[in-house]
Amino acid sequence: MPKLPEGFAPHFRKSAVTDPWEPLYSRQNGGILELGLELRAAHCNSRGLMHGGVIASLADNAMGLSYVLTYAENNETPKGGAVTVSLNIDYLAAGKLGQWVQVTPRVIRAGKNMGFVDALVTADGTPIARANATFRVQA
């Protein structure tokens, strides 16, 4: 187990999509849910660099959960959660084996029906991607 940044614990939400990437870690900070992991071979492409699809999936996960948390602070928790309407990723640099990768979302607007969230993805503190997404509440 890597030395976790303060406040991180095993991620509470499991999924068949993310099972191969375990262990995943998360921490909640107000209405924000950050995700983190120690970069391993299961997260990398054939060149040993973090795969863009893993980055996109983790950013989508962290941003969606953050939107639902923020939404729930102002309303009831949506029974069906939220679904991604759009997701955009800009890849800035490469994550390498052994680095601590962290997704830090920021909820821009948590509307009653739609939410707008962005995130910064870092590897050992260096930005490797930025993401933004729009979510719709599921009734």
CATH number for 82: 3.10.129.10
SS3 (DSSP) at 18: coil
| pLDDT range class, residue 2, cuts 50, 70, 90 | low
Secondary structure letter of residue 21 according to DSSP: G
Residue 64 pLDDT exceeds 90:
yes
| Distance, CA of 100 to CA of 57 (rounded, Å) | 17
SS3 (DSSP) at 110: strand
Mean pLDDT on 3-19: 91
- Asked, for residue 7, whether it belongs to a domain, the answer is no
- Tell me the whole-structure pTM to 2 decimals: 0.93
Q: Any idea of the CA torsion for 91, 97, 99, 103, to the nearest 10 degrees?
A: 40
- Asked, for residue 8, whether it belongs to a domain, the answer is no
Assess whether the previous peptide bond of 23 is cis (omega < 30° from 0): yes
- Asked, for residue 63, whether it belongs to a domain, the answer is yes
- Asked, for residue 116, whether it belongs to a domain, the answer is yes
- Asked, for residue 92, whether it belongs to a domain, the answer is yes
User: How many structural domains is the chain composed of?
Assistant: 1
- Asked, for residue 10, whether it belongs to a domain, the answer is no
Place of tokens 């990398």: 44
- Asked, for residue 6, whether it belongs to a domain, the answer is no
Q: Which two tokens stand for residue 11?
A: 């991620």
Show the domain range for 122. Answer: 16-137
- What is the model's pLDDT at position 72? 85
- Asked, for residue 3, whether it belongs to a domain, the answer is no
